Amino acid sequence: MRYEPHDYQQYAIQYIETHPIAAVLLDMGLGKTSITLTALNDLLFDRFLIRKAIVIAPLRVARDTWPDEIQKWEHLRSLNYSVAVGTEAERLAALKRQADIYIINRENVQWLVEESGIPFDYDMVVVDELSSFKNHQSKRFKALMKKRPGVGRIVGLTGTPTGNGLMDLWAEFKLLDMGQRLGRFIGQYRTRFFLPDKRNGQVVFSYKPLPGAEQEIYRLISDITISMKSTDHLQMPELVSSAYTVCLSETEMQRYVSLKQELVLQLPGGEITAANAAALSGKLSQMANGAVYADDRAVIPVHDRKLEALEDIIESMGGKPLLVAYWFQHDLERIRERLHKLNIPFSCLDSAGSIRRWNAGEIPVVLIHPASAGHGLNLQGGGSAIVWFGLTWSLELYQQTNARLWRQGQRAETVVVQHIITKGTIDERMMKALSEKDTTQAALIDAVKADLNI
């Protein structure tokens, strides 16, 4: 296929080519993979500024999306690539193969640096989903930082740079510029831009930005950062978000409130204990979805309200394809059991084959877990409706999962995102939290938005 980039894509390509350090915050659906590959192709064969590059991406994106994009476009046919995923033997063979671009999943970064024995002599690194390096204490971050001083060019790609707040930015930009803009140490960053917020004595649980901190942070990173929103540059389909509210019975709500207040709940199937606030949040979310893990990991059914709502939603689709996002393993098991009972064909989105079948319109219902399939997958060919059976606290996973459908190439005029919400439960707080987190991220995106008139 002939590649004819939009103006914003050409701008982003040139930005990557002219900035050895670049944070490219492209909204979902803007074609960040083809943009980056075009820049890599130019840097390799036109500008001769690099000789080989490595792309670090989520597993399915590394395995499927990057190779598919290289094969898709005519101008990239001269690119030799090697995908280093799979067993250790398969990864080693791929890394030893002669190629221009090596593609590896982020889970194997530490192995590549510390165990593979392969020289890390790549003169350009592309981090697809830079936000997956937001934890400065993670093994992947520490491993890549060891090799960062020897890398001449680096690009960080993401659409969700501050999925959980401005604190995420420090590690992401430390990886890019080695601390030049936001400081070399996380303590310096906290002291300069934040105040302790929620705390218990000397233990600080969260921080809030100082007055004017957001604007100053954006100013500091603006010289290596561009941002673009899909709604600014594409004729995107209308995005319709709605809630399908279900209600617990009086007895079910009493059980929910009892666990919330006492942190212990005795049910016929076993005892449920929440050791701390995080554990309580998880247990309450499970109860809102309809089942909960007991202390011995047995699954205790609580209600079928969401399953009944999902059944209604599938029926209302009239045979049109539906993507169903779940969070807990028992959600998946209960949904599968209900769909089998109703004789509704479905599949889990867990392989390249299932992705192809979905996009070909062969599967009416597909079950997707945001953490394993939220980034980079092109699913817009299979349908235009998604329902959230269970929510996530992560804005990044939430937006990325919705963007599998609401993106460039979606043929439908409207993309519908439905949320099954259990009234009076933590579901309502999770929806509010996702909305509030988006405020901070939207501020960052707007602050560094690319000016295409430059």
Site of tokens 């996009």: 359
374 domain-assigned: yes
Give the Å distances, CA to CA, from 290 to 18, 63, 248, 332, 451.
Answer: 53, 35, 10, 11, 48
Per-residue confidence (pLDDT) for residue 22, from 0 to 100: 97
Is 143:114 a contact under the CB 8 Å cutoff? Answer: yes
Which has the higher per-residue pLDDT, 10 or 201?
A: 10
Task: Quote the CA–CA distance of 43 and 47 in Å, as a whole number.
Answer: 5
157 and 213 fall within a common domain: yes
Q: How many residues does the chain have?
A: 454
**How many domains would you assign to the chain?**
2
72 domain-assigned: yes
Per-residue confidence (pLDDT) for residue 449, from 0 to 100: 66
330 and 244 fall within a common domain: yes
How much is the average pLDDT of 149-156?
Answer: 97
DSSP 121: -
Per-residue confidence (pLDDT) for residue 450, from 0 to 100: 63
What CATH number is given to the structural domain containing 287? 3.40.50.300
Q: Is a pLDDT exceeding 70 seen at residue 96?
A: yes
Per-residue confidence (pLDDT) for residue 446, from 0 to 100: 72
How much is the average pLDDT of 376-398?
Answer: 86
255 and 217 fall within a common domain: no
Domain that holds residue 325: 238-427
Burial class (CB in 10 A: 0-12, 13-18, 19+), 142: middle
* Tokens representing residue 172 in the block: 């992401």
Is 249:273 a contact under the CB 8 Å cutoff? Answer: no
pLDDT per residue over 280-295, tens digit each?
Answer: 888 899 999 999 998 8
183 and 103 fall within a common domain: yes
Measure CA of the first residue to CA of the last residue in the chain; give whole Å.
30
430: helix, strand or coil: helix
Per-residue confidence (pLDDT) for residue 159, from 0 to 100: 81
Per-residue confidence (pLDDT) for residue 23, from 0 to 100: 96
How much is the average pLDDT of 75-84?
Answer: 95
Per-residue confidence (pLDDT) for residue 242, from 0 to 100: 84
DSSP 272-321: EE--SHHHHHHHHHHHHHTEEE-TTS-EEE---HHHHHHHHHHHHTTT--
Burial class (CB in 10 A: 0-12, 13-18, 19+), 202: exposed
Sheet of 124-128, strand order:
81-84, 101-105, 53-57, 124-128, 153-158, 21-26, 225-228
Q: Is a pLDDT exceeding 60 seen at residue 374?
A: no
Per-residue confidence (pLDDT) for residue 123, from 0 to 100: 94
pLDDT per residue over 196-214, tens digit each?
Answer: 877 777 777 778 899 999 9
Please, which pLDDT band fits residue 454 given cuts at 50, 70 and 90? very low
Task: Quote the CA–CA distance of 8 and 44 in Å, as a whole number.
Answer: 22
Per-residue confidence (pLDDT) for residue 248, from 0 to 100: 93
Site of tokens 């690539």: 81
Is 227:211 a contact under the CB 8 Å cutoff? Answer: no
214 and 264 fall within a common domain: no
* Tokens representing residue 417 in the block: 């995102």
* Tokens representing residue 181 in the block: 């803009």
How much is the average pLDDT of 395-406?
Answer: 88
H-assigned helices in 222-276: 230-233, 250-262
246 and 355 fall within a common domain: yes
422: helix, strand or coil: strand
173 and 37 fall within a common domain: yes
The overall average pLDDT reported for the chain is 88
How much is the average pLDDT of 254-260?
Answer: 88
344 domain-assigned: yes
Per-residue confidence (pLDDT) for residue 376, from 0 to 100: 58
Please, which pLDDT band fits residue 193 given cuts at 50, 70 and 90? very high
Is 168:161 a contact under the CB 8 Å cutoff? Answer: yes
pLDDT per residue over 342-359, tens digit each?
Answer: 999 999 887 888 888 888
Q: Which of 187-191, 211-215, 230-234 has the lowest mean pLDDT?
A: 230-234
402 domain-assigned: yes
